[in-house]
Structure 1
């Protein structure tokens, strides 16, 4: 029986008890599904795990170098094409389900490649499988913000994604600890980890298929609207800020290069440990701060990334970089800034986007970022010809500019 207080609440907010119960169930499904996929991401990380695996299989360095660009650009550039398809769907969760399932299939293909192929053939096959994984991820990315906006209230979205990041990082911490311990000394344990990632993606797809999503309008125009890029100055500024702050994703391998004396596997473990620990201690906190002011989190994260990239350069200059703990410690704080950027950019884009145009906004933003990421990655590669210090100096400057420009973004009003 509905009480007078409940009736008054429902009249004011429009949220019935059934709606609130559905949001609670959906929130759990979001957190569990995201946790599973984030663990999978950590176990198969192309910047670290796949690059190490390709090297262990004897793949040429040129092919190993293609892995990160394929993963990053492949996950972003197709979104402009996919957005119309997603917006034409009555229930958009199915785009995410198919994307998660596709990533699981691609990961299983990588397992098969690792067990049956070597050298150049393995490198080519890994690049092909990773391309499938990246395009599948694009389907998840372009649809997720819209699904999140439809199924979770604005002031809870950052918390949902933040909890998922913190929970998932525990598993990656364990994996990193095993790598550093020296217990994992050949290819097979890493292949098993990638197989586990495949199962997690498939499991997440099955769970997310049970999301209770309200049907969308089937009659909308499904062509991509480029008007926001022409008329929305804040949207253009957001793209510029996010583009500059992509360096927080590109910089970590250069920190490992400063470690010099560590073996490839130890370097992999150290980077995974720093990344997972940073995610564990900060994802939920950044999510809550992003709910209050995502633009201020972007500013703080950009400034923080700039400071710790500069500290890594200073450590190299004074000869401290070869110490066992100096670079991992600096990297940990740098990865805190990376987590801040990840949380704030997602929350800000969802909050600033008009209702049913979220998929179009996400697609336009991610396609632009895909291009900027390739340009920034190329800049880092050119600077790396001089050395990792030059790359980190460039990344520090770009992070600082991105953080300062974030202050020019408007504060998005809360519902």
Structure 2
């Protein structure tokens, strides 16, 4: 009868070792903001978070709509209309439903099941996209890929709302940024290997990209199963109900909580880091995406930025997510300013220059992602965390849809004008972030 208890102890011990190595546990704050019962399982839960997130983030890199899916549709004869829909469908589709989904998720005492289901659906959609790339061409391929991407985006929205709530219940306040930052770093390393393989020219690129889609599907399905092993305490279920009534109630938080409104303003300005890359690529006279290794080099620049910065940003976010948002805005502003200057001086003719500038912007983007996630989780109390997450994500989804206007501006005034505007938005975000509270120092 003693055997069943020894295995979990050994398992927990291994998880505890990994937890201590990654978090440098030495300040007695590991159980801040979580129940005592959850504290006991925190090392194991922390490791599950890191592995699950690493898998899903790697899957995101393998199916990157801005680069991978757009390359597939272009190479296989899909109309340009579908290529233009990829990023808006993915980004806005993942954010806009959240305000309404949150009301239902609020009624679930255990939200890990919602996240696992969302990850499973994303994996199924990725597998469907891979099969479509093998079997379809032209208009039919574009229609199926965009449709499956829309479904994948909705499943992603379920994961986004439920994840921050589960993270807030299972990992202490001073360790959450480290968990997400470590996962981003691991995922970036995997994507770098994938990008280098594509860039090497040793294999037929179309074959590798489709294999990558199947691998992304496997990553999502595996993370779905793994996440179910989390030890999650039951949470409050009040507030679940009619999604429209709940959404209307949630909108009131923007006016009743000034810090939430300021956070949404800051995050809204920082969408410049997400919208800018396509316009940066368009500046280059010789489109690097059409070269034999162009797709790989762009993926490599993005993944290297994540690998080099994610863990550092995560650790800094545990100390001050406010300062991370400020620094990220400043870094993005500098990267975009340099891009504008190089474009004006006609210094973007070499293939390597664009990936270097993209690398700088993506370092800032990683800071934005980790800073905003950590700040929101630590700013909101447990009863409002899911609502705040859904509200802010829905507002940002609307702004991303409106961001399509920049494509029109680029056609009329040029990409440099749009990038100069994004540069101003980034510096403005730095100023608005400076007015946020230091939520990590609050008890």
The interval holding the TM-score normalised by the smaller chain is over 0.9
For these two proteins, the number of residue pairs brought into alignment is 406
The answer to whether 1:309 aligns with 2:336 is yes
2:187 maps to what in 1?
168
Equivalent residue of 1:142, what SS?
helix
> Could you tell me how far apart the structure 1 residues matched to 2:212 and 2:236 are?
41
Is the Cα–Cα contact under 8 Å of residues 34 and 171 in structure 2 kept in the other structure? no
Q: Deviations over 1:91-143 (max 9, x none)?
A: 10011001000000000110111111111111111110000100000000011
The answer to whether 1:101 aligns with 2:127 is no
- In the TM superposition, structure 1's runs of 4+ consecutive aligned residues that sit over 6 Å from their partners are 12-18
Q: 1:404 aligns with which of 431, 434, 437?
A: 431
Equivalent residue of 1:408, what SS?
coil
Please identify, of 176-185 and 82-91, the stretch whose mean Cα deviation from structure 2 is larger. Answer: 176-185
2:6 maps to what in 1?
none
Shift of 1:146: 0.5
Q: 1:264 aligns with which of 290, 296, 299?
A: 290
Please identify, of 386-395 and 337-346, the stretch whose mean Cα deviation from structure 2 is larger. Answer: 386-395
2:323 maps to what in 1?
296
Shift of 1:186: 4.0
Q: Deviations over 1:259-310 (max 9, x none)?
A: 3323425332222111110110110110111111111111111111111111
The answer to whether 1:110 aligns with 2:129 is yes
Measured at CA, do residues 203 and 221 of structure 1 come closer, stay the same or move farther in structure 2, by a change above 3 Å?
Answer: closer
Which ranges in structure 1 are unaligned for 5 or more consecutive residues?
1-8
Please identify, of 61-70 and 264-273, the stretch whose mean Cα deviation from structure 2 is larger. Answer: 264-273
The answer to whether 1:252 aligns with 2:271 is no
Q: Deviations over 1:193-251 (max 9, x none)?
A: 00000000000000001110001234554434323112111111111110110110111
1:395 maps to what in 2?
422
Equivalent residue of 2:41, what SS?
helix
Which ranges in structure 2 are unaligned for 5 or more consecutive residues?
1-27
2:164 maps to what in 1?
145
> Could you tell me how far apart the structure 1 residues matched to 2:107 and 2:191 are?
36
Is the Cα–Cα contact under 8 Å of residues 380 and 394 in structure 1 kept in the other structure? no
RMSD across aligned positions (CA)? 2.0
Measured at CA, do residues 329 and 74 of structure 1 come closer, stay the same or move farther in structure 2, by a change above 3 Å?
Answer: same
Equivalent residue of 1:314, what SS?
helix
> Could you tell me how far apart the structure 1 residues matched to 2:75 and 2:304 are?
26
2:75 maps to what in 1?
56
TM-score, with normalisation over the residues of structure 1? 0.93
Is the Cα–Cα contact under 8 Å of residues 109 and 237 in structure 2 kept in the other structure? yes
> Could you tell me how far apart the structure 2 residues matched to 1:174 and 1:209 are?
28
Q: Deviations over 1:35-78 (max 9, x none)?
A: 00000000000111001111111000011100110000100001
Is the Cα–Cα contact under 8 Å of residues 179 and 269 in structure 1 kept in the other structure? yes
Please identify, of 88-97 and 323-332, the stretch whose mean Cα deviation from structure 2 is larger. Answer: 323-332
> Could you tell me how far apart the structure 1 residues matched to 2:94 and 2:165 are?
17
> Could you tell me how far apart the structure 2 residues matched to 1:177 and 1:211 are?
34
Q: 1:235 aligns with which of 235, 239, 260?
A: 260
Shift of 1:378: 2.1
